Structure 1
Amino acid sequence: MSQISISHLSFNYESSCENIFEDVSFTIDTNWKLGFIGRNGRGKTTFLKLLMGLYDYSGVIAAAVDFEYFPFAIKNPSQLTRTLVDEIYPDYPLWELQRELSLLNLDAALLERPFSSLSRGEQTKVLLAALFLKPNQFLLIDEPTNHLDLEGRRVVSQYLKKKPGFILVSHDRTFLDNCVDHVLSINKMNIEIQKGNYSSWLLNKQRQDQFECNQNKKLKQEIDQLKTAAKRTENWSNAVEKSKNGQRVSGLRPDRGHIGHQSAKMMKRSKSLEKRQQKNIESKEKLMKNIDWNDSLKIRPRAYQKERLISANHLSLYYDDRPILNDLNFTINQGDRIAIVGPNGSGKSSLLKLLLGQPISFSGNLELGSQLQLSHIPQDTDLPTGDLRDFSRCQGIDESLFKTILRKLGFNREQFEKNLTSFSEGQKKKVYLARSLCQSVHLYLWDEPLNYIDVLSRLQIEELLLQTPPTMIFVEHDRSFIDHIATKIIEL
């Protein structure tokens, strides 16, 4: 066991006026299975690249291990998979590689195939196996689940659970719970480490947020009471002071010494109340700095004229005359939230493309309701050049509503002026999410909408879909999301 020590780390991009990290210090053990979480754009991938020495920074990063970054950059994907593994680490015993592949439910025969011929899930598993072969390496695993189906995520999480130590960036709650024992979170104002998995971290965060909200409310009430008391005492003091110059009563002069003493006493009490008030204000200002307000999102589903929107009977899809989906039967009615699940390559995205009217060869019967209006979130995150204003105009959506939704999903105002090509993958996906939420339609078709999306935003989206349930069909590999949202499941 060794340690990775971060001392007074500060970093910012030349194009940004704000620091990504500012005077950050913490220490982690290399045997920790560390889940790394935080809002999109807060610097998770940047931090991993700082560990790799890819950027200049101020401060100190000290470690007795070498870092390896996943996903590994592939220069020639057409080469044999075995050759690629040899390039990553040439000195491995073959039986060790075979053992790693077996743990990942992969047949060693794929080593003799071109790497480009493997599915994206198989590529992910092969690279993880190769990187874990290297001795004295600490893996920095950046969002490995984006190309894994439900079964692949289960297998890889079980694989990582048996490994000694790594940093894992992932937004899949079930995946994190299965394989991490510590959580490193980038908050709004600091970075913190907790022992446990994602669920225990979330529970602790909710408790801390609730405590701070309650404390904030209590201090606010006390401050209001102290202000009132201080003002009342000051008024009394001023009134007593004026009575020093008052008229005689029964021929007696006012006891100015006694009155002055009483006035000074009241003024002293007033000052004491003001100090207590200021102390409470200072305590209040320290609260709720790290609370990520999950502002409620809204969706504007449109009711269709009939109960049934879509029906399919004996539907089969083909790719180059090769069947990719056979004899499928289903109906989509108002209010259905249907999850399409199945292994990679089973035809999930192709089915969505067919419903969108894209050219997909099929046989059987497919009936879509007349004048059915659809909103689509694509699986990829390619965006045009330009800023958010250009995008909203091109898409014909309300710019103000569009930006309001993005603000609620964690965008800061500085991001609004940047070119879309500079966005992180998670931010690009949020652009498509916000566009879809701006559209008032009968049916929402979302293809892996949560890829790259941070866990806090996932919770917001879940809450939205449960509070204002639209009719939708979605492809997703986040087990928690499917369990919470789907009313029906089509398994391919």
Structure 2
Amino acid sequence: MILVQANDIRKAYGTDVILDGTSIVVQDRERVGLIGVNGAGKSTLLKIIAGEMTHDSGTVHIGRETTVGYLAQHSQIDSEATIWDEMVSVYADIKQLESKMRELEQKMAEPSVYENEKLFQQHSEQYARLTQEFTDQNGYAVDAKVRSILHGLDFPEPMHGRLVNSLSGGQKTRLLLGKHLLTQPNLLILDEPTNYLDIRTLTWLEDYLKNYPGALLMVSHDRYFLDSLITVIYEMERGRTRRWKGNYSDFLDQKAADLEQHMKRFDQQQAEIAKLEDFIQRNIARATTTKRAQSRRKLLDKIDRIDRPMLSTEQAHFSFNIDRQSGNEVLTVDNVALGYGEKVLSRNISLNVYRGERIALIGPNGIGKTTLLKAINQKLDPLAGRLKLGTNVSVGYFTQQQEDLTASKSILNEVWDAFPNLDLTRVRTVLGNFLFSGDDVTKPISSLSGGERSRVALAKLMLQNANFLILDEPTNHLDLLSKEVLENALDNYPGTLLFISHDRYFVNRLATRVVELSEDGVASYLGNYDDFVEKVEELAAEKREQEALLAASTKAKNSATDAPLDDAQARRQADKEQKRIEKKRLERLAKVEARIAELEELMAAIEADLCLPEVFSDHELAARKNDELLTAKTELDALLEEWAELEAAGE
């Protein structure tokens, strides 16, 4: 069943044509992703479909029974209600039913009613009807649904009584998203729903939307999100759309194959045209061959010419280099606490960063990730502890909000003032690489979009040639093509990276280590995002197994203790179970102790190697040895904790 169909939509602002013959169809339960570069008209099309904006021509047909929910990029709730009351307002009719039920319960408890048989019977029948209606509408599950959505969107229970208007802009957007999820329209339109979400919340939303009962139409620059959810891609380019079946990775593969075939057909046709033109030119003037030449000319005129394929949309191109190499130890964070005033966000933070590492810093919103980066860059002081940069370390810092850009300056002056020793030609060339050419460079920073401001900040960062790049959400405001260009540049960067990103695809592509920040310190995981998820799930499974083992052990002990002295069979059964659990504990204990011994020997050998002149004089070899030592230490710490728990279980 078609929920919405937009045909040949045109939208222009004066001479600036945004949509030109755009068409899109969304079927029931489809998951549709709308992609394209910034400025392609994606948000405009969503607004037109949602009825938030008029179009110049074309038609939009929405099914008679289609309900539409629309979350714009910067949607917010303006409400004097509490978070809980605002969310529960979605179920106003059900809550009104519940209120009537409570009123009837009170009435039926009054002596004047329950002593009056006829009146009590009337109230009882009415109460039965309301209860049935309340049950049919799943009223008993309302509070649980609201609580689940709020928890998933990072509104813990202590926050439920806060006023909506006291929330930040990002929190208000998340709350509005939650209301849409509760309402469950059969067409949910989402414009960049992953903005303002940390990785944990983003993962929750992704899992929730996988089971969403309606259709989804969304704009997103999160490739991991698109791959996980989307089944149909609409690509917007030059005001038009093209439909592709599959997720984002499928789209890339299909488009590459389509482009190759298109180019092949174009080249074949061009060769045929050249051959015909050559024959005509050589034979048109000769009496004996002019008829054949004229026949070929008619054939040439009838050819339906294939357009040369557009290889790619214009995109930035740049690279990051370094002026000099840093020492092996790039950064030491020693027992640091972060916060503002008396509010502590995170404490016990200890972290070593080594040359060549690419570390992704992750954790829930508000835990202090950005605060840590500011402390490293001496933008604020830690509440406790020490941060120290290594030898020959030069830092390049990309801030999330581009606070170092001056709103009143032009793009050209913003960059040139930061690097006054460069000549004008060099500055203009760099800006051209970031898609600022001609009169564009005279635009004031204040007039730029988020993506344009990011490109200016990246241009300044590139010119620094720093050997330690610290990046706070560098992919925010960038479209898919720009993200890929940035990834390629950072992938070839010869220095060290420490970055915050909620873009799991970006983390997967670049990270060699994931560091998770919590209230009580950091946990370090070698590898990229997928490796991190796998390790976390593995540790969680081990913890569940240990808890089950301890619970079973306790139960067996209790059973053995509580069994009646004359019940020999029960005692034997309990003893048998206890022996089985003890055997399993001892087997695991032996394995853990053996692995601890192996790791201790390995670490001793590595530490001995690091003292050798041929090792510590070779920076790359020393760095590898340090990485091996860190990996072994991380595993050893986890095993020692498990060993202590297993020992305690046997006492």
Q: TM-score with structure 1 length normalisation?
A: 0.81
Q: Is the 8 A contact 1:97 1:129 kept in 2?
A: no
Q: Report whether the alignment pairs 1:363 with 2:413.
A: no
Give runs of aligned pairs for residues 30-109 of structure 1, distance below 5 A: 30-59=28-57, 60-64=59-63, 65=66, 67-71=68-72, 73-74=75-76, 76=78, 79-85=81-87, 90-91=92-93, 93=95, 95-96=141-142, 98-102=144-148, 105-106=151-152, 107=156
Q: Deviations over 1:362-406 (max 9, x none)?
A: 422322246643222211267624543343334437532343232
Q: Is the 8 A contact 2:326 2:393 kept in 1?
A: no
> SS state of the match for residue 384, structure 2?
strand
User: Residues 269 and 92 of structure 1: is their aligned pair in 2 closer, same or farther, counting only changes over 3 Å?
Assistant: farther
> Which residue does the alignment assign to 1:308?
329
1:447 to 472, 487, 500: 472
Give runs of aligned pairs for residues 243-254 of structure 1, distance below 5 A: none
> SS state of the match for residue 473, structure 1?
strand
Q: Report whether the alignment pairs 1:12 with 2:19.
A: no
1:153 to 189, 202, 206: 202
> Which residue does the alignment assign to 1:165?
215
Q: Is the 8 A contact 1:312 1:366 kept in 2?
A: yes
C-alpha separation in 1, matches of 2:418 and 2:272: 50
C-alpha separation in 2, matches of 1:476 and 1:366: 22
Q: Deviation of residue 346 (structure 1)?
A: 2.2
C-alpha separation in 2, matches of 1:115 and 1:330: 37
Q: Is the 8 A contact 2:412 2:428 kept in 1?
A: no
Q: Deviation of residue 85 (structure 1)?
A: 3.1
User: Residues 460 and 127 of structure 1: is their aligned pair in 2 closer, same or farther, counting only changes over 3 Å?
Assistant: same
> Which residue does the alignment assign to 2:225?
175
C-alpha separation in 2, matches of 1:73 and 1:97: 25
Q: Is the 8 A contact 2:395 2:470 kept in 1?
A: yes
- Greater mean deviation of Cα atoms: 98-107 or 181-190: 98-107
- Greater mean deviation of Cα atoms: 167-176 or 383-392: 383-392
1:350 to 351, 368, 371: 371
Q: Deviation of residue 148 (structure 1)?
A: 1.3
> Which residue does the alignment assign to 1:190?
240
Give runs of aligned pairs for residues 382-461 of structure 1, distance below 5 A: 384-385=407-408, 387-396=410-419, 398-407=426-435, 419-461=444-486
1:325 to 332, 339, 346: 346
C-alpha separation in 2, matches of 1:303 and 1:457: 27
Letter of the 1:204 counterpart: Q
C-alpha separation in 2, matches of 1:420 and 1:50: 30
Gap regions ≥5 residues in structure 1: 242-259
User: Residues 462 and 219 of structure 1: is their aligned pair in 2 closer, same or farther, counting only changes over 3 Å?
Assistant: farther
Q: Is the 8 A contact 2:327 2:391 kept in 1?
A: no
Q: Deviation of residue 475 (structure 1)?
A: 0.5
Q: Is the 8 A contact 1:420 1:428 kept in 2?
A: yes
- Greater mean deviation of Cα atoms: 353-362 or 148-157: 353-362
Q: Deviations over 1:444-479 (max 9, x none)?
A: 111011123222222222222223444221101111
Q: Is the 8 A contact 1:97 1:133 kept in 2?
A: no
> Which residue does the alignment assign to 1:244?
none
User: Residues 358 and 401 of structure 1: is their aligned pair in 2 closer, same or farther, counting only changes over 3 Å?
Assistant: same
User: Residues 36 and 333 of structure 1: is their aligned pair in 2 closer, same or farther, counting only changes over 3 Å?
Assistant: same
- Greater mean deviation of Cα atoms: 71-80 or 302-311: 71-80
> SS state of the match for residue 485, structure 2?
helix
> SS state of the match for residue 146, structure 1?
coil
C-alpha separation in 1, matches of 2:85 and 2:151: 20
C-alpha separation in 1, matches of 2:157 and 2:350: 37
Q: Deviation of residue 119 (structure 1)?
A: 7.7
User: Residues 339 and 401 of structure 1: is their aligned pair in 2 closer, same or farther, counting only changes over 3 Å?
Assistant: farther
Structure richer in helix, relative to its length: 2
User: Residues 228 and 294 of structure 1: is their aligned pair in 2 closer, same or farther, counting only changes over 3 Å?
Assistant: farther
C-alpha separation in 1, matches of 2:91 and 2:447: 33
- Greater mean deviation of Cα atoms: 311-320 or 395-404: 395-404
Gap regions ≥5 residues in structure 2: 96-138, 518-651
C-alpha separation in 1, matches of 2:412 and 2:221: 28
Q: Deviations over 1:425-451 (max 9, x none)?
A: 333333323332343222211101112
C-alpha separation in 1, matches of 2:71 and 2:356: 40
User: Residues 97 and 221 of structure 1: is their aligned pair in 2 closer, same or farther, counting only changes over 3 Å?
Assistant: farther
> SS state of the match for residue 359, structure 1?
coil
1:213 to 241, 257, 263: 263
C-alpha separation in 1, matches of 2:413 and 2:27: 46
C-alpha separation in 2, matches of 1:310 and 1:108: 38
1:374 to 395, 400, 407: 395
> Which residue does the alignment assign to 1:255?
none
> Which residue does the alignment assign to 1:247?
none
> Which residue does the alignment assign to 2:513?
488
Q: Report whether the alignment pairs 1:132 with 2:173.
A: no
Q: Deviation of residue 124 (structure 1)?
A: 4.8
Q: Deviation of residue 70 (structure 1)?
A: 1.6
Q: Deviation of residue 299 (structure 1)?
A: 2.1
User: Residues 161 and 291 of structure 1: is their aligned pair in 2 closer, same or farther, counting only changes over 3 Å?
Assistant: same
Q: Is the 8 A contact 1:40 1:427 kept in 2?
A: no
> Which residue does the alignment assign to 1:467?
492
Flag the structure with larger Rg.
Answer: 2
- Structure with larger RCO (C-alpha < 8 A, sep 6+): 1
> SS state of the match for residue 156, structure 1?
helix
C-alpha separation in 2, matches of 1:145 and 1:56: 26
C-alpha separation in 1, matches of 2:239 and 2:275: 30
Q: Is the 8 A contact 1:188 1:289 kept in 2?
A: no
Letter of the 1:194 counterpart: W
Q: Deviation of residue 2 (structure 1)?
A: 4.2
Letter of the 2:234 counterpart: L
The percentage of counterpart residues that share the same residue type is: 25
2:305 to 273, 278, 283: 283
Q: Is the 8 A contact 2:69 2:180 kept in 1?
A: yes
Q: Deviations over 1:19-72 (max 9, x none)?
A: 001132333225322212111111112222223434342122222445433257
Q: Deviations over 1:330-359 (max 9, x none)?
A: 333332222111222222111111121102
> SS state of the match for residue 13, structure 2?
coil
